[in-house]
Structure 1
Amino acid sequence: MSSSPPVRAVVRAIDLLQALNRQAVSTLDVLHAQTGMPKPTLVRLLQTFENRGIVKHAPQHGAYFLTSGVRSLSSGYHSEPMIVEAAAPLMDELTLRVKWPTAVAMLDHSAMVVRYSTIPLSPLSMRHSTINFRLSLVTRALGRAYLAFCPSDQQEALLKDIQTSPHQPEDEAVRDRGALDHVLAKVHDAGYALRDPTVVPATNTLAVPVFDTHGVAATLGMTFFSSTMKPEQAVERYLADLQAVARQVSGRLKELQATA
C-alpha cells in the first residue's frame, strides 16, 4: 500500500499544539517563530482550538495557553498550564483591584520560573513582562517561599544542587548556610517571603506558597516599589489578600487534578 502525503492542515494543527506545549503561555510572535506558520493561519487555528475548549486566549496579554480540555487528546496537559488556568483569573482580579502586578512561578531544576504575570494589567510595573524569567531560590521571594515550604529532603537536594552548579551571582548566598537556614525558618514561621533587599532594591516582592495534592506546586508573589511601601507595610496591607488568592488557586488546582 503506497503512503499518501500528510494532510497539511492536520500537520499544522499538531505542530501548533506541540508549540503550545513548550511554554505555559505563548504569544503569537513566539508561535510564529516556533512553527514558521503565517500569523493569519495561526490565528485561525487558535480560534478553532479555543472553540473546541482546548486553548484559552487572554486578550489583555496577547497570549494563549492550553486548558484542561486538552486532556481529551490524552497528552500535552501537564502541571504548568493547569496552574496558569487555575491562577490567572484570580490574579487578574487581584491586580485590577490593588493595581500591583502579581506573578506565579514554578520550580525548574534549581530556580523558579515565572509562568504567568499580570504586568499588562498593572499601571505600577517597571517591566513589560517577566514571563519565563528565572529567579534565584535563595534571594528571590518566589524562590524562598518555595524552599521554605517544600519537604526538607527536597530543600536539601536543591541547595546542594545550587552549591555544586556554576554559580549565578544571586546564588552566592547559598554559601552561608547558617544565615540562609535562618531566613527560611523565618519564612516558614511567618507564612510568607520577601526578596533580599540588596537584589533590585528599587522594588520588592511579597510571596506565598501555593499547594496542590502533592505539596508546594508553585509560589505567588506581588511586586511593589520600595519607595512607596516598606516591606512591613506591604505585609500589613496585602498579605491577607495574597494568601486568600493562593488558597483559591490551591482549591481550583486540586479540582482540576481530581478530574484530569
Structure 2
Amino acid sequence: MNNDKPIRALSRGLAVLQAINRGGSLTLMQIARASQVPYPTASRLVHSLMHEGLIEQEPDRKRYRPTALVQTLSNGFQGDGILIQAARPHIIDLTRRVGWPITLSTRVGHSMVIRDSTHSITALTFNTYHPGYSMPILEAAAGHATLAYMSDEDREQLLESMKLLPKIESPGILEMFQKEELASRIRAEGYAARMFNQFTANPGKTSSIAVPILRDAEVVGALTLAFFVRAAKMDQAEASFVRPLQETATNIAQSLCDVETRH
C-alpha cells in the first residue's frame, strides 16, 4: 500500500471548495468546470459541503457561495504578518506610481495564496482579491517565480508530489520545470510572466508579471502586477514594469529585515 497517494475524494472536495471560494457565487456547472471535477461528483460534493455548513445555496437561485464558517478553516494559521507589514507601504507606493494592482502572495502546498493586494485602491482592475484567494502554482506568474527561485531539491520534491495528484494542472509547464529550462530562463531574466490568466474572476482578460521576494537567497514570497490584456502587449509591460517590480521586491526584503530586527 502506497501511503503517499492522496485521497481522491478529499482532493476533489478541496478543489470544489476552493473554486467556490474563488468565484464567490457559482452555478454547479461553473463549479465543475472551475474545479475540473466531473459534474455528478461536483454535485455530490457541493451537497456534502452544504451539509457541513461551509457553503450555502443562494435564496431562489441555483448558485452556491461560501459561508462565514469557511473562515474557521484558517484558525490557528499565523500567516505572514511580518511580511505583510513590511510589504504594504511598498506595494501601495508602486500601485500609485504605475496604476496597476500589485499582489503579494506566498506558496502554500501546490497553490499560491494572496496575502495582500492593492486592487481596492486602483480603478484598473476587474475585481478586488482578498487575502486567502488561491491559484494553482503552475498557473500563476507568482508560482513560476517562486518555483524558479526555490532550491533545486525543494523544487524537485514539490514537482514530484504534484505528479501524485489526481489531475495535474498544466502538465506541459510541470515538465518544463522538471527539465530546468523554464526555471533557468526565469532566473536569467529575473521575472516570470503569464498571459491570459485563467484562474481569476475574469478568465483570460488579464496578464501578469511576477518577481520573487528574496531573503538570504530564500524565496519568501512573490509580487505580481496584473494588467488588462487589451491595455498593453506583454513586451511593452515587461519594458515598463519589470524594473519597478524588482526594485520594490528588493525594498520589501530590506524592510522585512528591519521589521524582524525590531521584533
TM-score when scaled to structure 2?
A: 0.65
Distance change in 2, residues 1:194/1:95 (3 Å):
same
- How is 1:101-120 mapped onto 2 (pairs within 5 angstroms)? 101-120=101-120
Letter in 2 for 1:100: W
Residue 206 (structure 1) aligned with residue 205 (structure 2): no
Query: Could you tell me how far 1:79 is from its partner in structure 2?
Result: 6.0
Count matched residues: 188
Alignment of 1:144-183 (within 5 A): 144-167=144-167, 170-174=169-173, 176-177=175-176, 181-183=180-182
1:219 and 2:222 are equivalent in the alignment: yes
Alignment partner, residue 259 of structure 1? 262
Superposed counterparts of 1:1-260, under 5 Å: 33=68, 80-167=80-167, 170-174=169-173, 176-177=175-176, 181-197=180-196, 199=198, 200-213=203-216, 215-260=218-263
Instruction: Measure how far apart 1:140 and its partner are.
Output: 1.2
CA distance in 1, matches of 2:156, 2:178: 15
Q: CA RMSD in A?
A: 2.6
Comparing 246-255 with 206-215, greater Cα deviation is found at 206-215
Give the residue type in structure 1 aligned to 2:239: E
Question: 2:233 and 2:250 mapped to 1: Cα distance?
Answer: 25
Aligned equivalents of 1:202, 1:214: Cα separation in 2:
33
The amino acid of 1:93's aligned partner reads D
Q: CA deviation at 1:172?
A: 3.3
Q: Structure 1: 5+ residue runs without aligned partners?
A: 1-32, 35-75
1:32-90 per-residue CA deviation (whole Å, 9 max, x = no partner) reads: x57xxxxxxxxxxxxxxxxxxxxxxxxxxxxxxxxxxxxxxxxx995601111001111
Question: Does the 8 Å CA contact 1:195/1:205 hold for their aligned counterparts?
Answer: yes
Q: Is the 8 A contact 2:99 2:122 kept in 1?
A: yes
Which structure: larger Rg?
1
Runs of at least 5 residues in structure 2 that lack an aligned partner in the other structure: 1-67, 70-75
Please say if residues 159 and 178 of structure 2, whose CA atoms lie closer than 8 Å, have aligned partners that are also in contact. no
Q: TM-score, normalised by structure 1?
A: 0.65
Aligned-partner Cα distance in 2 for 1:210–1:178: 20
Identity %: 25
In structure 2, distance between residues paired with 1:160 and 1:91: 33
Relative distance call for 1:162 and 1:179 in structure 2 (3 A) is closer
